[in-house]
Structure formats: structure tokens, C-alpha cells
């Protein structure tokens, strides 16, 4: 696998995961907002904090109104993490490595792009939003299904799996971090359960949580589920195991493996009852920093190829 | 909208499907009946489905224009062109004969130049050749073959005979569209394929792979093969990635490769450096090695020529093979066939006038309004004068150009290119076509079953190049009608 192509695959996968996660997050937030008392502190600004784009937003817009935030997160090309920008970026990347993916994947990424370029504008309107964003999610999931169902577990596959899980772990930790801060003032109120349910919703985790944990969304249990559950595919621990396993399918490289192992060791020591009371922000922050470092290490290990130093010629060595 | 043989406005030239008003050619009868039986809306809805499929598949090409580069959907026409297998076998033999002679010529030119010594080919044509590469003199590519992939343009004139218009030996493109056109037809008109035995085209990529693999300098059954592309902004990028995908080869850019001190070529992979055996280059040879050719090129690989000359990497087409892709050299191909193979050319050239010869030049200058004038080294239909459609100013400009650089120009009579029924705005009308089959040669030879039929979509136009408003059709070599 060419290093350049490997890097593109990794990022293509990250961008598509980001587009899908953002769509899920917006859908859940829109639903939650309809349940909240008017003037509740969970507003559109909060959503910007979750994705870490509050600064970038305010460079372009004044007010964090619903229309402005939706436009920024969904279709604004100036925001490289907007759903549209992510899909377009993924499509441009996919063009350059059609030879390593199943033939249909380019068609489906291209169709996803054509869909977003014609339909995303209507997602600014609350009445259409759910439908359009769900379609984005569905199309992206179809693509993942195609790859899982038809691709050999080769290096290309592992790099995409790596990108998907690095991005997903990052998103889960962000959603938790920010929602938790927003939720604190509502402790003991009627909205408490509701907001935690919404956190689960935004990560598409509510159904599995109900089945495997319980019907009530309690802070520390939600934390444990989203950070530490072995079986839920969006929990940070599950993502780390996926990353570990994907690295196993790539050419040898000690550094990335050691870093993931260190992150798993840290997770082993977490006490979620304590974290639910305080320290969650630092904990999540730590996850995000470690993922960023892992990203640098992956880049160095697989995508930057060292050329051997020029061998000294006969005459040079004799002079030396 | 139907193919209505009775009302089809035949244009006097040769039509590939309709022989005379109300009378389809024998091999086209089933097709015409099929289209006649389709309700208007049905045809339109299938035509629309074609457009949707093309957009979805992202089958595009880039058009360079003053307004910037535009990625256009590939214009595809749903009415296929049909050629009878018996006729095709004759053409196939002619194409193989031609490429064999061209490769002997190139190899001779870079070695002893016997064809010049024997007075068959004029020395001054070579002196002025823009595509002769001095750096290739004395090189010995495997099997003595230089041009491994050739796209030969054929046209059928009013007399119903096929003529060779030109041989594209540098980086001929279009084969991916030939393959995609068939896919589209199979998806959209599956019933048609039960009425005909159409020779499949799909094995091209396997043949291409085997041809390239035979160029590998190393023993072993899985050589590392890569398609070298100038990058995503090249007009044929779609094809480069398509072929790499179909062959299971790498798609590389110059910056992905490096030549080390051992004069071998390596790819930068996620495991480190990996040796590369064969390069199918889709970069003009002027750009492939800044150490030898254009120093300002960032598309190539420094040291690539060194590696190739030492036999450490196979390159297709070999650097320097463009010397035979020249519209003046073209004129001498029948003589080459005689000289190297001692055979008569199976496929005739279009009669041509060489402006370097005084008598021819005077004739050309006196008849500019009737002739097509072509520069020796351009491709893609650029820089041509089509006499009957030209203005007096254009003719004056070309007269001056010809007088200044006679060696750079040749002229041919304006051919009455054959037509094929084509779905136009509101009716099925005749449109002019040509045909580009692809011929492969390394250890063995292979010719595609048919090729890419290009169609001039504008009424009356003779220019079929996709960069100038051309489209394409599926081409069927048929075994006989069921």
C-alpha cells in the first residue's frame, strides 16, 4: 500500500465518520431541544462546544442562532468539519484510490456527495432536518456495510478501520465532556434523566443502554457505558480495542501499539462513580490529547517514508 | 422516438446500421426492430437512466478551456454501432500487422537506422522529429517492443472501406470508456444481449496486465505493476485509476517513486520502500525523468531512465516510442510494412499530402478549402484546419504556417466519415463516427473486440474528440444474429 494512498484512506474514513457523527449529534440535539424549557442553558452554543468549533464559528458568525449554527455545522464549506465539507473531502480523496476499494464504493461516495450537495440546504429547516440527516447516516452506513461485506481485511481495510475508530472515540469523549457540563445544573430536576437519555441518543446508544444497563439514565452508569463498555461499538474502550486490532493488521510498528496500550491501561483505572462527581473534564481531555498524539504517531509510522541515506561512493569513503 | 428506417435521413455517405431507406443492414435488423418497438417514453427513460448512471459512477473527463477546467460527464449515446465479425477479423489482422511494423521501425530508428540507409525512409523527417529521444538510442527493451499499447484511429469512408487515420503510440486514452460503455449497455438494455452474440470486451484489463507483467525484469508470477499518472487534475485521470483498479495495480504519482543507488525503482509504501517492476506510464516521456528530459518536471522520477536502460524496470510505452506517432511518419507506414515484414498493408492509409514535398505542398496550398490540414505532432484534434468549414482568414493563417514549417504539416482529403443513428434532441439522426481499437504487444499480441466508437454529436460535425463536443457509443462485434 502506497504511503500517500494509505494516508488518504485513513483521512477519508475519519471525515466520513465525522460527517455521520455530526449528523447524529444534530438530530439528537434537535429532538432534545423540543423537550427543554424555553431559555434552558443547553442551546446551540453548546453544540458548537461539543464539536470544538465554537471559536471557528464566531469568526464567521455573530449570534449562535439555530439557523446560523445549523448552517455552519451542516453545509458551510468554510468549516472543514461541516457535514458537506467532510463528504466532499472524502469524495475527492476516494477519487485518488479507487484502485484499492471495491468498485461500488466510489459510486456510493459520489452518490452521497451528490445527495448532500442538493439536499443539505433543506436540513436547515427543522421540518426536513431529521429526514435529510438520517439519509446521510443511512448512506454512510451502507458504505460501511459494503466495505465490511466485500473487502479483504487488507491494509486498506485496516487503515479505514483505524481512521473510523480514532474519530469515533474522539467524538464520544467530546459529547460526554460537554454534555456533562451542561447537565450539572439540572441534577435532581425533572430534566436530569432526559438529558442523559439525549446524550445516549446523540451517540445512538440509547437502545443498547436500555437493553444492557437499564431504563434509567444515571450519570455514572452512562459514563461507564460510553467510556468502558466492551461490547458497545461507540464506547471509547471498544474503539480502542478496534484500533489495537487494526494496528495488528498493519505492518509492524511498536510506537502506535504502545500508545494504545497505555490508553487502555488508563481506562482500566477509571472510577466512574468518582468521575461522575468530578474530574470528568480532565479525563475526557486526556483521551482527546492521547488520540491526537496517536494520530501523530500513526502519521510518522506509516505515512512518512524515510529514504536511505545516499551510500558513500568509493572515492568519498577513501578520502574520509 | 424510434429508429424509423423509412424516415431516417441518410446523408449519402456510408451508414453503419442503415443500408438504404427502409432497409437496415443484415446485422442491424434485430437492433432496429428492438428500438422501433420501444415506446418513446421508454427510450427516454432509459436514456435518462444512462445519464444518472454516468453521473453516479463519476465517469468524467476534464475539458481545458479559457473558463478553467471543467469535469464533464461522459456523453454516451445509447444506440450501439455494429460490426460483423468477419469484417472485424480482417481489421484485426491489419492492426496487428501495423503495430508489428511500427515496433520494428522504432527499434531500427534507435539502433542502426537501416530503413534510412536503404532509402525507404527520408533522413530529414527524423532530423525534424519532435518526439525522437536521443537518450533512447541503443536501448534494448524486452522483445524489441517499444510501443506496447497502441490506439489506432480508423474511419470508414463513403466507399464503405476502413482507413487508418492515425496511430496513437504515446499515451493513447479512451479504453476505459470502451469498457464502461459496455457496462452501461448491459445494465440498461439487457434484452438486446439476448438477441445478439456480442463479443465481450471485458478481458482487456487482464490482457493489459499480462502484457505488462511480461515486461518485468524479475522472475516470479506476481510482479509489482503500477500505473503512473500525472495526478488527479489530468483529463484522463478517471481512466488511470480505472485501469489500476481493474488490474489490481498501484496507481502512483512521480512523488511516490524513487530510484536508489542500485538503479532500481522503489515505491514509498506504508511498510517502507518496495521494489517496482513495471510502470504503465500515462505521463508524456518528456516529463518522466527530470535528470534526462525536462528538468522542470515534477511529474516524473529522477533516475527513471537510468533504471530503464539498465533493464531494472519495464516501462510501457517505452520512452521514445512517440517517434512513430507523428502524422508525417504515418505516411510511411505502408512502406515500413513492406520493408520489415515483406507484406502488403492490409489496412490502407488515408491518401495524404506531405507539405515537405514541393509538389504536394503546392497542391495543398491551392486546395486548402477542400483538405484537412494536420500538424505532425499534435493530438486531441488541436491545431487542425478543416478546409470545407474554414474561413478565408483561417486558411491564410495555415498557408503561412505551412510555408514556414513544411515538415510540420500534412493534409488529407476531407473524408465522408460514416454515420450511425444517434439519439439527438428530438429524433434519431445520423452522426459521424470513427473507431479507436487498442492493440497490445509485448510477448504476445492482442486487439480489443471492437474499440471505442467516438461520435460527433453536433449535426454535420466531423470532429469526434471528447474535448471538442464528441461523445461515444458501445461498439459491437457480432457473431451473427439469433
Q: Residues A27-57: pLDDT tens digits?
A: 888 877 777 666 665 578 888 888 889 999 9
Task: Report, as ranges of residue numbers, the positions in chain A whose pLDDT lies below 50.
Answer: 311-320
Distance CA A133, CA B148 (A): 50
Task: Please give the pLDDT value at position A184.
Answer: 65
Sequence-distant (6+) residues with CB within 8 A of A294 are A166, A243, A256, A259, A260, A263
Using a CB-CB cut-off of 8 Å, the residues of chain B touching A251 are 270-272
CB atoms within 10 A of CB B360: 17
Nearest C-alpha in B relative to A299: B270
What does the pLDDT look like over B351-368, one tens digit per residue?
999 998 999 999 999 999
Q: Which residue has the cell 458501445?
A: B474
Of A4, A251, A311, the CB nearest to B271: A251
* Among candidate residues A273, A259, A82, A288, the one with its CA nearest the CA of residue A177: A288
Separation in Å, CA of A219 to nearest CA in chain B: 42
Task: Please give the pLDDT value at position A38.
Answer: 66
Q: Cα angle at A46 between A41 and A51, to 5 degrees?
A: 170
pLDDT at B27 over 60: yes
CB B258 within 8 A of CB A3: no
On whether any CB of chain B is under 8 Å from the CB of A111, the answer is yes
What does the pLDDT look like over A291-300, one tens digit per residue?
999 999 999 9
Of A96, A155, A311, the CB nearest to B270: A155
Distance CA B312, CA B139 (A): 12
Distance CA A16, CA A89 (A): 9
Separation in Å, CA of A3 to nearest CA in chain B: 4
Integer-rounded Cα radius of gyration of chain A: 21
Residue A242, classed as helix, strand or coil, is helix
Residue B17, classed as helix, strand or coil, is coil
B379 — pLDDT class (breaks 50, 70, 90): low
Q: Looking at the predicted complex, does its ipTM rise above 0.90?
A: no
Distance CA B115, CA B121 (A): 6
Cell of A279: 474530574
pLDDT at B65 over 70: no
Partner A, chain B 229-248, Cβ-Cβ below 8 Å: 232, 237, 241-242, 244-245, 248
Distance CA A65, CA B294 (A): 56
Mean pLDDT for B307-335 is: 95
Mean pLDDT for B253-274 is: 95
State how far the alpha carbon of B393 is from the alpha carbons of B400, B401, B402, B410, in Å: 11, 12, 14, 19
Task: Please give the pLDDT value at position B144.
Answer: 96
On whether any CB of chain B is under 8 Å from the CB of A4, the answer is yes
Residue B89, classed as helix, strand or coil, is helix
Of A1, A99, A310, the CB nearest to B244: A99
Task: Please give the pLDDT value at position B482.
Answer: 47
Distance CA B448, CA B437 (A): 6
Q: Which residue has the cell 504519482?
A: B253
Residue B213, classed as helix, strand or coil, is helix
Mean pLDDT for B182-198 is: 88
**CB–CB contact A110 B258 (8 Å):** no
On whether any CB of chain B is under 8 Å from the CB of A106, the answer is yes
Numbers of helices and strands, H then E, in chain A: 16, 0
On whether any CB of chain B is under 8 Å from the CB of A305, the answer is yes
**CB–CB contact A155 B272 (8 Å):** no
Q: At what angle do helices A83-95 and A66-74 cross, to 10 degrees?
A: 10
Sequence-distant (6+) residues with CB within 8 A of A299 are A7
Partner B, chain A 39-78, Cβ-Cβ below 8 Å: none
CA dihedral (B209, B211, B214, B216) in degrees, to 10, reads -60
Distance CA B137, CA B318 (A): 12
pLDDT-wise least confident of A26-40, B6-20, B408-422, B463-477 = A26-40
pLDDT > 70: percent of chain B = 93
Separation in Å, CA of B237 to nearest CA in chain A: 9
Sign of dihedral through CA atoms B49, B51, B52, B58?
positive
Using a CB-CB cut-off of 8 Å, the residues of chain B touching A100 are 245
Task: Please give the pLDDT value at position B420.
Answer: 94
Distance CA A139, CA A143 (A): 6
Task: Please give the pLDDT value at position A203.
Answer: 85
Q: Which residue has the higher pLDDT, B233 or B279?
A: B279
Task: Please give the pLDDT value at position A320.
Answer: 35
CA contacts within 13 A on the Cβ side of B237: 20
Cell of B27: 446485422
pLDDT at B2 over 50: yes
Task: Please give the pLDDT value at position B416.
Answer: 84
Nearest C-alpha in B relative to A300: B270
Q: At what angle do helices A3-35 and A192-202 cross, to 10 degrees?
A: 150
CB atoms within 10 A of CB A135: 16
Amino acid at each position: 500500500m502506497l504511503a500517500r494512498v494509505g494516508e488518504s484512506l485513513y483521512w477519508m474514513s475519519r471525515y466520513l465518520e465525522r460527517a455521520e457523527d455530526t449528523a447524529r449529534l444534530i438530530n439528537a440535539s434537535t429532538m432534545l431541544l423540543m423537550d427543554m424549557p424555553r431559555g434552558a442553558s443547553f442551546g446551540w452554543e453548546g453544540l458548537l462546544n461539543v464539536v470544538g468549533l465554537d471559536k471557528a464559528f464566531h469568526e464567521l458568525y455573530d449570534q449562535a442562532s439555530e439557523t446560523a449554527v445549523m448552517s455552519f455545522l451542516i453545509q458551510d464549506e468554510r468549516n472543514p468539519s461541516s457535514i458537506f465539507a467532510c463528504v466532499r473531502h472524502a469524495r475527492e480523496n476516494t477519487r485518488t484510490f479507487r484502485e484499492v476499494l471495491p468498485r461500488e464504493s466510489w459510486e456510493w461516495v459520489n452518490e452521497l456527495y451528490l445527495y448532500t450537495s442538493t439536499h443539505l440546504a433543506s436540513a436547515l429547516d427543522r421540518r426536513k432536518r431529521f429526514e435529510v440527516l438520517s439519509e446521510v447516516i443511512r448512506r454512510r452506513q451502507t458504505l460501511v456495510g459494503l466495505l465490511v461485506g466485500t473487502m479483504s481485511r487488507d491494509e486498506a481495510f485496516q487503515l479505514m478501520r483505524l481512521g473510523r475508530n480514532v474519530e469515533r472515540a474522539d467524538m464520544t469523549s467530546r459529547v460526554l465532556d460537554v454534555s456533562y457540563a451542561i447537565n450539572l445544573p439540572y441534577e435532581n430536576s425533572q430534566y436530569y434523566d432526559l438529558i442523559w437519555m439525549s446524550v445516549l441518543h446523540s451517540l445512538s446508544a440509547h437502545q443498547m443502554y436500555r437493553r444492557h444497563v437499564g431504563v434509567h439514565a444515571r450519570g455514572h452508569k452512562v459514563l461507564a457505558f460510553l467510556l468502558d463498555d466492551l461490547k458497545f461499538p461507540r464506547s471509547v474502550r471498544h474503539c480502542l480495542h478496534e484500533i489495537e486490532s487494526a494496528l495488528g493488521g498493519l505492518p509492524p510498528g511498536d510506537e502506535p501499539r504502545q500508545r494504545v496500550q497505555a490508553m487502555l491501561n488508563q481506562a482500566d483505572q477509571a472510577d466512574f462513580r468518582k468521575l461522575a462527581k468530578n474530574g470528568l473534564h480532565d479525563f475526557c481531555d486526556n483521551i482527546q490529547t492521547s488520540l491526537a498524539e496517536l494520530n501523530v504517531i500513526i502519521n510518522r509510522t506509516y505515512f512518512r517514508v524515510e529514504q536511505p541515506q545516499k551510500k558513500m561512493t568509493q572515492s568519498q569513503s577513501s578520502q574520509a | 422516438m424510434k429508429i424509423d428506417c423509412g424516415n431516417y435521413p441518410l446523408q449519402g455517405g456510408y451508414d453503419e446500421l442503415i443500408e438504404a431507406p427502409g432497409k437496415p443492414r443484415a446485422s442491424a435488423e434485430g437492433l432496429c426492430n428492438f428500438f422501433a418497438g420501444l415506446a418513446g417514453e421508454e427510450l427516454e427513460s432509459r436514456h435518462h437512466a444512462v445519464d444518472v448512471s454516468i453521473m453516479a459512477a463519476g465517469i468524467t473527463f476534464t475539458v481545458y478551456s479559457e473558463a478553467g477546467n471543467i469535469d464533464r460527464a461522459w456523453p454516451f449515446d445509447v444506440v450501439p454501432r455494429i460490426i460483423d465479425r468477419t469484417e472485424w477479423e480482417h481489421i484485426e489482422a491489419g492492426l496487428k500487422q501495423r503495430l508489428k511494423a511500427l515496433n520494428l521501425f522504432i527499434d531500427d530508428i534507435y539502433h542502426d537506422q537501416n530503413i534510412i540507409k536503404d532509402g525507404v525512409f527520408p533522413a530529414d523527417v527524423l532530423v525534424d522529429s519532435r518526439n525522437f529521444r536521443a537518450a533512447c538510442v541503443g536501448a534494448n527493451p524486452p522483445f524489441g517492443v517499444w510501443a506496447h499499447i497502441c490506439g489506432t484511429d480508423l474511419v470508414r469512408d463513403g466507399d464503405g472501406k476502413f482507413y487508418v487515420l492515425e496511430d496513437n503510440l504515446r499515451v493513447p486514452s479512451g479504453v476505459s470508456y470502451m469498457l464502461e460503455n459496455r457496462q452501461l449497455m448491459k445494465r440498461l438494455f439487457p434484452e438486446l444481449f439476448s438477441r445478439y452474440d456480442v463479443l465481450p470486451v471485458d478481458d482487456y484489463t487482464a490482457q493489459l496486465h499480462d502484457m505488462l507483467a511480461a515486461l518485468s525484469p524479475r522472475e516470479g508470477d506476481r510482479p509489482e505493476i503500477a500505473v503512473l499518472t500525472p495526478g488527479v487534475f489530468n483529463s484522463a485521470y478517471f481512466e488511470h485509476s480505472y485501469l489500476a483498479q481493474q488490474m489490481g495495480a498501484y496507481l502512483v504519482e512521480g512523488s511516490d517513486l524513487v530510484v536508489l543507488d542500485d538503479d532500481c525503482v522503489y515505491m514509498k509504501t506504508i511498510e517502507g520502500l518496495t521494489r517496482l517492476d513495471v510502470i504503465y506510464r500515462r505521463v508524456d516521456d518528456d516529463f518522466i525523468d527530470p535528470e534526462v528530459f525536462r528538468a522542470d518536471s515534477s511529474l516524473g522520477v529522477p533516475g527513471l531512465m537510468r533504471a530503464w536502460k539498465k533493464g531494472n524496470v519495464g516501462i510501457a510505452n517505452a520512452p521514445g516510442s512517440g517517434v512513430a506517432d507523428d502524422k508525417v511518419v504515418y505516411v510511411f507506414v505502408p512502406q515500413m510494412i513492406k520493408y520489415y515484414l515483406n507484406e502488403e498493408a492490409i489496412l490502407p492509409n488515408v491518401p495524404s499530402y506531405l507539405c515537405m514535398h514541393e509538389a504536394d505542398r503546392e497542391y495543398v496550398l491551392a486546395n486548402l478549402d477542400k483538405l484537412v490540414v494536420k500538424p505532425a505532432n499534435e493530438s486531441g484534434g488541436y491545431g487542425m484546419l478543416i478546409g470545407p468549414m474554414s474561413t478565408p482568414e483561417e486558411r491564410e493563417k495555415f498557408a503561412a504556417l505551412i510555408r514556414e514549417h513544411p515538415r510540420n504539416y500534412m493534409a488529407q482529403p476531407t473524408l465522408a466519415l460514416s454515420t450511425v443513428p444517434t439519439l439527438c434532441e428530438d429524433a434519431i439522426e445520423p452522426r459521424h463516427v470513427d473507431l479507436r481499437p487498442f492493440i497490445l504487444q509485448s510477448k504476445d499480441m492482442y486487439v480489443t473486440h471492437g474499440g471505442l466508437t467516438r461520435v460527433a454529436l453536433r449535426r454535420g460535425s466531423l470532429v469526434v474528440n471528447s474535448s471538442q463536443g464528441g461523445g461515444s457509443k458501445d461498439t459491437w462485434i457480432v457473431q451473427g444474429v439469433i
